[in-house]
Amino acid sequence: QLQLQESAPGLVKPSEALSLTCTVSGGSISSSPYYWGWFRQPPGKGLEWVATISYRGSTYYNPSLHSRITISIDPSNNHFSLRLNSVTAADTAVYYCARNLRYHYDFWGQGALVTVSS
Amino acid sequence: QSALTQPASVSGSAGQSTTISCSGSSSDVGGYDFVSWYQQHPGKAPKLVIYDVSNRPSGVSSRFSGSKSGNTASLTISGLQAEDEADYYCISYSSTNSLWVFGGGTKLTVL
């Protein structure tokens, strides 16, 4: 059974960069036709798509975050990552990673809470 | 403000049916059959319950069904059970510069 597990720092200071990693087990991150995505959910609010990367490394970003984010994939370690620069309190959220299969997300990680605070 | 419009809340009695709508545009819901629905219980990750408008993943109850008419997709849950009480989100592929667009979520209360 495929499993995804987010790793995140928990607490990040304003203006710093946030790095998250999603480790995939039970399947290869390089397998076609899967894509891999990041989502986030501020406390008490709805879900927001952040970024998606294909098994070949093609990237897709939420336009509202595009200038601050980078998504990457590491087949050798079977994980993919997200970097969000210049964070503010508005970036406080539970961050989820998920697998995309032909236009839907079928497996999700349990989520990792990231708080931006000094 | 979400790109797709969902009612903030719906309710239904146990055993009855309820429908949650998801309204978009011809650039997303109306233009593609790539609407998916996710169930989220408090403190838990989203769970896929419907994909490609009306398909159910293996393991999801047949009480969940989906449909689409024009720019509006719908999720119907029949035979409501207490365990169905959760937040439900619709997502659609979009031809705009945002690849995926979300609904704001609907809180389902089972009375």
- The DSSP annotation for chain A comes to --EEEEE--SEE-TTS-EEEEEEEESS-TT-TT-EEEEEEE-TTS--EEEEEEETT--EEE-TTTGGGEEEEEEGGGTEEEEEE-S--GGG-EEEEEEEEETTEEEEE---EEEEE--
CB contact under 8 A, B48 and A104: yes
Q: How far apart are CA A80 and CA A70, in angstroms?
A: 11
Of residues B93, B97, B102, nearest to A47 (C-beta):
B102
Shortest Cα distance from A98 to chain B (angstroms)?
10
Decide if B8 touches A, using CB distance below 8 A: no
* pLDDT of res. B96: 85
Query: What is the average pLDDT across B75-101?
Result: 93
Interface of B with A in 45-74 (CB under 8 A): 45-48, 51-52, 57
Q: Does position B98 have pLDDT exceeding 80, yes or no? A: no
* pLDDT of res. B40: 97
Decide if B98 touches A, using CB distance below 8 A: yes
Q: Environment class of residue A20 by beta-carbon count within 10 Å: exposed (0-12), middle (13-18) or buried (19+)?
A: buried
Average pLDDT, rounded, for chain B: 95
Q: Does position B89 have pLDDT exceeding 90, yes or no? A: yes
- Counted across chains A and B, CB pairs separated by less than 8 A come out at 60
Q: Does position B84 have pLDDT exceeding 70, yes or no? A: yes
Query: What is the average pLDDT across A56-69?
Result: 93
Sorting pLDDT into bands at 50, 70 and 90, what band is B1?
low
Query: What is the average pLDDT across A71-96?
Result: 96
Q: Kind of pairing, strands B9-12 and B64-69?
A: unpaired
Cis bond before residue A9 (omega within 30° of 0): no
Q: How far apart are CA B69 and CA B9, in angstroms?
A: 21
Of residues A46, A98, A110, nearest to B2 (C-beta):
A46
Tens of pLDDT, residue by residue over B11-63, are 999 999 999 999 999 999 999 999 999 999 999 999 999 999 999 999 999 99
Largest CA distance in chain B: 42
Sorting pLDDT into bands at 50, 70 and 90, what band is A32?
confident
CB contact under 8 A, A109 and B104: no
